């Protein structure tokens, strides 16, 4: 059977979306060949059976690399190229964003083995989803293909960050998906740009400058494209982030030896002002200088300088108040809570790509009351300690969204 007639010319008229390269390279499906175009044909048959409709239409999105995959025969590559020319498959450098965009917009099932972890933040309906994704599996006879509904995994936030980071590193040439992984050497050194007055890698550049690009085997200035000179070992840096009511507001880099002040409206350099993200009632319960953050020995150290105090939540232990004057070494999985829902934590990212790459709201200008003294928190009638605890724990804050879908 030629699946050509089942391949839809436009997504709007299709019944299923297919992550084509993912299916064609699914070695568990048939004979174990690293890539086999027949798997797409068998999948189309399986989908017609699944839909109980011989004419079920499939919209196939294809990663461009599949068209030159050496594991396909010349005849298979020619067939793919013909389908692409006829508009029966959509060919893109990376199929995933397009597939999910279509699934989201058209409410259509996706056939893939991929968990799409790097898209869980953009599409909060993916983790835990039970009705949008189908898994191709060998059929009972072992010669064909069947499809079964999938439950998408709920992945820890730090793993999502790492996956997103890999994609960003890949885009600037600092991550090699097939080879060595992250080009660590680039991150362990400081770099200088030969261009006079370079904003990013000049002599006055901040230590938390963005990472260089990487092309033709050398790190390069992203602005001037010039090869960068090695200026010695880089100081330790740690990435932290601010989350307010479960929403990531900003990430910032703390460099060994620097002091960063986090608060409602701190003074001086190296400050993270929280006031734009705080609700009216919360603003004045957060002190202007609430926390001081430094890096020593490669670890993030936090101390409280506030009126109302902060609390450290831990994964497997009771929360502890952060006592004034005492430094706390923040570990992965721990969260410093400045007030319910206002949190400082370590980023799952290991590398600085930009000095500040959080999703920021446009900052409204501060108002006089933002620099006013902090209001003392009224005593808790329930008798709880300062810094009431809520939320499902360090990874949480936001329940995995689950979109109900019509089928």
- The contact mask relative to Zn ion for 62-101 (x = CB under 5 A, - = no) is ----------------------------------------
Nearer to Zn ion by Cβ, of 224 and 314: the residue is: 224
**Plot region of 315 (φ>0 → left; ψ -120 to 50 → alpha; else → beta):** alpha
C-alpha 87/C-alpha 24 separation (Å) is 18
Burial tier of 260 (Cβ tally within 10 Å: 0-12, 13-18, 19+): buried
Of the candidates 111, 99, 96, which has an alpha carbon nearest to the alpha carbon of residue 46?
111
Q: How far is the CB of 352 from Zn ion (least distance, A)?
A: 17
Q: How far is the CB of 239 from Zn ion (least distance, A)?
A: 23
Q: Residue 102: CA atoms inside 13 Å, Cβ hemisphere, count?
A: 25
Nearer to Zn ion by Cβ, of 160 and 174: the residue is: 174
How many residues bind to Zn ion according to rule CB under 5 A?
6
C-alpha 96/C-alpha 64 separation (Å) is 12
Nearer to Zn ion by Cβ, of 116 and 201: the residue is: 201
Query: Is the distance from CB of 163 to CB of 126 less than 8 angstroms?
Result: no
Of all helices (H) and strands (E), which one includes residue 262? Answer: strand 260-263
Q: How far is the CB of 202 from Zn ion (least distance, A)?
A: 7
Nearer to Zn ion by Cβ, of 230 and 279: the residue is: 230
Nearer to Zn ion by Cβ, of 196 and 232: the residue is: 196
3-state secondary structure 240-253: EEEEECCEEEEEEE
Which residues are within 8 A (CB) of 227 and not within 5 positions of it... i.e. 6 or more apart? 194, 218, 219, 220
Nearer to Zn ion by Cβ, of 69 and 195: the residue is: 195
Q: Where are the alpha helices (DSSP H) in 236-345?
A: 280-283
**Span interacting with Zn ion, options 24-32, 135-143, 186-194, 324-332, rule CB under 5 A:** 186-194
Nearer to Zn ion by Cβ, of 8 and 193: the residue is: 193
Nearer to Zn ion by Cβ, of 139 and 195: the residue is: 195
Asked if 33 is part of the footprint of Zn ion (rule: CB under 5 A), the reply reads no
Provide, for the chain, the percentages of residues in helix, strand and coil under a 3-state DSSP scheme, each rounded to the nearest 5: 20, 25, 50
Q: How far is the CB of 213 from Zn ion (least distance, A)?
A: 10
Q: How far is the CB of 228 from Zn ion (least distance, A)?
A: 8
Query: Is the distance from CB of 56 to CB of 16 less than 8 angstroms?
Result: yes
Query: Is the distance from CB of 111 to CB of 43 less than 8 angstroms?
Result: yes
Interface residue with Zn ion, options 193, 273, 291, 338 (CB under 5 A): 193
Nearer to Zn ion by Cβ, of 230 and 369: the residue is: 230
Of 315-374, which residues contact Zn ion (CB under 5 A)? none
**Span interacting with Zn ion, options 185-193, 255-263, 306-314, 343-351, rule CB under 5 A:** 185-193
What are the φ and ψ backbone dihedral angles of 395, each rounded to 5 degrees? Answer: -80, -15
Q: How far is the CB of 224 from Zn ion (least distance, A)?
A: 4
Q: How far is the CB of 237 from Zn ion (least distance, A)?
A: 20
Nearer to Zn ion by Cβ, of 193 and 286: the residue is: 193
**Span interacting with Zn ion, options 43-51, 92-100, 190-198, 315-323, rule CB under 5 A:** 190-198
**Span interacting with Zn ion, options 141-149, 191-199, 233-241, 295-303, rule CB under 5 A:** 191-199
Query: Is the distance from CB of 18 to CB of 24 less than 8 angstroms?
Result: no
Q: How far is the CB of 185 from Zn ion (least distance, A)?
A: 19
Which residues are within 8 A (CB) of 168 and not within 5 positions of it... i.e. 6 or more apart? 353
Q: How many CB atoms lie within 10 A of CB 319?
A: 16
Of 194-253, which residues contact Zn ion (CB under 5 A)? 195, 198, 221, 223-224
Look up residue 32 and give its DSSP letter.
-
The C-alpha torsion from 221 through 224 and 230 to 232, rounded to 10°, is -70
Q: How far is the CB of 326 from Zn ion (least distance, A)?
A: 42
Q: How far is the CB of 201 from Zn ion (least distance, A)?
A: 5
**Chain positions contacting Zn ion, by CB under 5 A:** 193, 195, 198, 221, 223-224
């Amino acid at each position: 059977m030629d699946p050509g007639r089942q391949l839809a010319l436009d997504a709007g008229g299709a019944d299923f979306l297919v992550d084509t390269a993912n299916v064609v390279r699914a070695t568990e499906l048939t004979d174990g060949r690293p890539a086999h175009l027949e798997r797409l044909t068998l999948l189309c048959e399986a989908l017609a059976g699944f839909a109980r409709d011989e004419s079920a239409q499939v919209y196939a999105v294809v990663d461009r690399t599949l068209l030159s995959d050496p594991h396909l025969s010349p005849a298979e590559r020619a067939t793919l190229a013909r389908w692409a020319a006829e508009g029966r498959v959509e060919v893109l450098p990376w199929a995933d964003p397009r597939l999910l965009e279509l699934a989201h917009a058209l409410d259509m099932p996706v056939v893939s083995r991929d968990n799409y972890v790097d898209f869980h933040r953009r599409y909060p309906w993916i983790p835990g989803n039970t009705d949008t994704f189908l898994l191709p599996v060998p059929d009972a006879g072992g010669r064909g293909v069947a499809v079964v509904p999938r439950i998408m995994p709920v992945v820890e936030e730090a793993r999502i960050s790492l996956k997103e980071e890999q994609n960003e590193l890949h885009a600037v040439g600092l991550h090699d998906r097939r080879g060595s992984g992250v080009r660590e050497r680039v991150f362990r050194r400081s770099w200088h740009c030969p261009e006079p007055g370079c904003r990013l890698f000049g002599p006055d550049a901040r230590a938390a400058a963005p990472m260089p690009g990487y092309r033709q085997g050398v790190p390069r200035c992203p602005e001037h494209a010039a090869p960068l000179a090695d200026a010695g070992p880089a100081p330790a840096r740690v990435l932290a982030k601010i989350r307010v009511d479960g929403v990531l507001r900003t990430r910032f880099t703390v460099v060994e030896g620097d002091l960063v002040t986090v608060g409602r409206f701190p003074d001086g350099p190296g400050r993270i002002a929280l006031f734009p993200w705080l609700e009216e009632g919360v603003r004045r319960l957060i002190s202007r200088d609430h926390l001081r953050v430094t890096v020593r020995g490669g670890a993030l150290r936090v101390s409280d300088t506030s009126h109302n105090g902060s609390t450290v939540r831990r994964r497997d232990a009771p929360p502890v108040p952060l006592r004034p004057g005492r430094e706390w070494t923040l570990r992965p999985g721990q969260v410093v809570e400045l007030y319910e829902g206002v949190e400082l934590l370590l980023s799952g990212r290991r590398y600085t790509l930009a000095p500040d790459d959080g999703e920021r709201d446009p900052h409204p200008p501060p108002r006089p009351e933002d620099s006013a003294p902090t209001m003392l928190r009224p005593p808790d009638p329930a008798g709880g300690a300062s810094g009431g605890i809520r939320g499902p724990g360090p990874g949480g804050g936001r329940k995995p969204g689950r979109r109900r879908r019509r089928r």
